[in-house]
């Protein structure tokens, strides 16, 4: 196996060569649905890594050059307001794409894990990675999930981005078109059911929900 580039909650990313990486899920699974959605949104102009191969638990993807949004926010190369605007715009652009399978006109493609660590800032612009949780549903659920994930960081005293996350959340919800409040309970249930969450993250869910509620009410 070639060099390990990164390890996430449930997948490892290896360098194959200068233009490709292998994303492999440690517990196996089938990446077919994930790859299909990525190809679909790419066909509609949404920025995702190019897919070279998709088989079993493996995705061979375009190798992206650039920091994650979280890295850029943390080291000050991206201003918090700029990051919030970019993330809100990515959510809005994604939710303008019609669903692949659902016929309800209000149903859209959802990422359900679209936060600063899953946005890579390349020379060509931001690119969204990690489509493992993608599904179809109301756009408000996607916004609620993004806000909840950021809020969990804001209320976690042990996270290195804690001091900036609350301000980032404020900017984000001030820029989002969709009001997350109608889907916040559903987002909390989905997040609570995520087996990859740590005990601390589970413990902070209620506090994070209250923080999202406060900012969402202020902006929507």
Q: What would the pLDDT profile of 54-104 be if each residue is shown by its tens digit?
A: 999 999 999 999 999 999 999 999 999 999 999 999 999 999 999 998 889
Buried b (16+ CB within 10 A) or exposed e, 135-164: bebbbbbbbbbbbbbbbbbbbbeebebeeb
Q: Are 216 and 170 in contact (CB under 8 A)?
A: no
> So what's the pLDDT on residue 158?
87
pLDDT of 2 strictly over 80: no
What is the C-alpha separation between 75 and 122, in angstroms, rounded? 16
The pLDDT tens digits of the residues spanning 15-67 come to: 999 999 999 998 888 999 999 999 999 999 999 999 999 999 999 999 999 99
What is the C-alpha separation between 157 and 163, in angstroms, rounded? 8
* pTM metric for this prediction: 0.95
The pLDDT tens digits of the residues spanning 143-179 come to: 999 999 999 999 999 888 998 999 999 999 999 999 9
């Amino acid at each position: 196996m070639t060099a390990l580039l990164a390890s996430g909650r449930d997948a490892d990313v290896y360098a194959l060569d200068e233009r490709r990486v292998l994303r492999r899920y440690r517990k196996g699974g089938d990446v077919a649905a994930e790859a299909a959605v990525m190809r679909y949104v790419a066909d509609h102009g949404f920025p995702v890594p190019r897919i070279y191969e998709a088989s079993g638990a493996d995705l061979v993807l375009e190798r992206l050059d650039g920091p994650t949004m979280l890295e850029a926010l943390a080291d000050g190369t991206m201003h918090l307001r700029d990051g919030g605007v970019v993330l809100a715009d990515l959510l809005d652009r994604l939710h303008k794409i019609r669903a692949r399978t659902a016929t309800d006109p209000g149903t859209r493609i959802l990422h359900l894990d679209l936060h600063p660590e899953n946005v890579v800032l390349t020379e060509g612009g931001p690119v969204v990675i990690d489509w493992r949780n993608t599904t179809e549903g109301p756009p408000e659920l996607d916004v609620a999930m993004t806000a909840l994930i950021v809020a969990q960081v804001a209320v976690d005293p042990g996270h290195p981005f804690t001091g900036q996350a609350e301000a980032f959340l404020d900017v984000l919800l001030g820029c989002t078109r969709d009001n997350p409040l109608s889907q916040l309970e559903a987002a909390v249930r989905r997040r609570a059911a995520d087996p990859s969450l740590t005990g601390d993250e589970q413990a902070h869910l209620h506090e994070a929900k209250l923080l999202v509620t406060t900012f969402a009410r202020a902006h929507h």
